[in-house]
Chains A and B, each alone.
Chain A
């Protein structure tokens, strides 16, 4: 204890500390309130039944529409939100690719550009993917397309959440 705290310093620290404590008591709820979406856990995706039967899935990618239940704040769209997957058979297994481009999130289409046969094409920045979803080197995307989990139940195709890489 070589450095003595002067009376003025003591009062400054005490007052400052109290003011800071009261101020934080006021600000903390508001900041926590604003930051809430960051700290909320997202709902885990469930499997949903599609209108497609197992034997309808071939080697050619098929655009499969399905609906997922979403909760957008206080807004819950009736019947869920429409989603699409490109579904095909690949090496005996079912592959369901997300149509969301890994470059900047536009929507890719199968052979949607006649120049690039047998590839997925994104019109925004000419991103391309091979049939199995792998990005074509030298085009904007740096990662392959996301894959949905799938299962066959009672002959019907079911689509689940996006697979974690």
Chain B
């Protein structure tokens, strides 16, 4: 049945070459944990991507209940967390996933650093990776405000004051991030827009570049 549906689609769309090009490629022995168990360190990049996918999915579902404004933000989070079935689990996935994504990203960075995989011709992919790191930090920073509790409010105040300490452009930067003179009604929708539209779009673009470069240049050789 499934095979017949696939065949029907493939006859018209010719998808086989596309997914073969994406998925069907050799995994070198030195990065395959089935050959050398220590090769598990090569999994952290893929794990980061997997966690990012979970973040996107759980975030989409959270957005079904969350309201980004000063009156309803905390109330809607409290509601989805205490009165909606499995709300604790879905928000828990997003909450813990955010930390796990950063940890995995950090381990991936360490692996690339200590195997020297960032060297020529892969310097550009290192730069793309650093940009991905900044995107993820931005997602973490903007997401932190959204529950609109004390921790969120003061963490954002501190973060914005750090931005304000940048020479020359600091005060403009702070006003831009706040959307006004203070952290409040104009800040939440702004952070929400950044958190669910701008930063994920940037992240996906960078991830695509990251993966295309890996396929073009191949995985770096063994130590």
Closest Cβ–Cβ distance, residue B79 to chain A (whole Å): 4
**A155 in the interface, Cβ–Cβ < 8 Å?**
no
Interface of B, secondary structure class, is helix
Closest residue on chain A to residue B61 by CB atoms: A30
Which B residues are CB-close (under 8 A) to A36?
A: 84-86
**B107 in the interface, Cβ–Cβ < 8 Å?**
no
**A125 in the interface, Cβ–Cβ < 8 Å?**
no
CA distance A127 to B64 in the complex (A): 36
Do A33 and B76 touch across chains, with their CB atoms under 8 A apart?
Answer: no
How many interface residues does B have (CB within 8 Å)?
20
A36-B84, A39-B85 in contact; A30/B79 too (CB < 8 A)?
no
Do A29 and B64 touch across chains, with their CB atoms under 8 A apart?
Answer: no
CA distance A36 to B93 in the complex (A): 18
A36-B84, A74-B72 in contact; A29/B89 too (CB < 8 A)?
yes
Interface size class of A (residues with CB under 8 A): 10 to 19
**B54 in the interface, Cβ–Cβ < 8 Å?**
yes
Do A29 and B93 touch across chains, with their CB atoms under 8 A apart?
Answer: yes
Interface of A, secondary structure class, is helix
In the complex, which residues 12-45 of chain A have their Cβ closer than 8 Å to any Cβ of chain B? 26-27, 29-30, 32-34, 36, 39
Which B residues are CB-close (under 8 A) to A74?
A: 72, 75-76, 78-79, 83
**A73 in the interface, Cβ–Cβ < 8 Å?**
yes
Closest Cβ–Cβ distance, residue A118 to chain B (whole Å): 46
Do B61 and A34 touch across chains, with their CB atoms under 8 A apart?
Answer: yes
Which A residues are CB-close (under 8 A) to B86?
A: 29-30, 32-33, 36
Closest Cβ–Cβ distance, residue B55 to chain A (whole Å): 12
CA distance A26 to B83 in the complex (A): 20
Do B76 and A29 touch across chains, with their CB atoms under 8 A apart?
Answer: no
Residue-wise, chain A 54-80 has the 8 Å CB interface mask toward B (1 for contact) of 000000000000000000011100000
Q: Which of B54, B65, B78, B79 has the most CB of A within 10 A?
A: B65
Which A residues are CB-close (under 8 A) to B78?
A: 74
18 A-B contacts, Cβ less than 8 Å apart? A26-B54, A26-B93, A29-B86, A29-B90, A30-B61, A30-B90, A30-B93, A32-B86, A33-B61, A33-B80, A33-B84, A33-B86, A36-B85, A39-B85, A73-B65, A74-B78, A75-B72, A75-B75
Interface residues of B (CB under 8 A from A): 54, 57-58, 61, 64-65, 72, 75-76, 78-80, 83-87, 89-90, 93
Interface residues of A (CB under 8 A from B): 26-27, 29-30, 32-34, 36, 39, 73-75
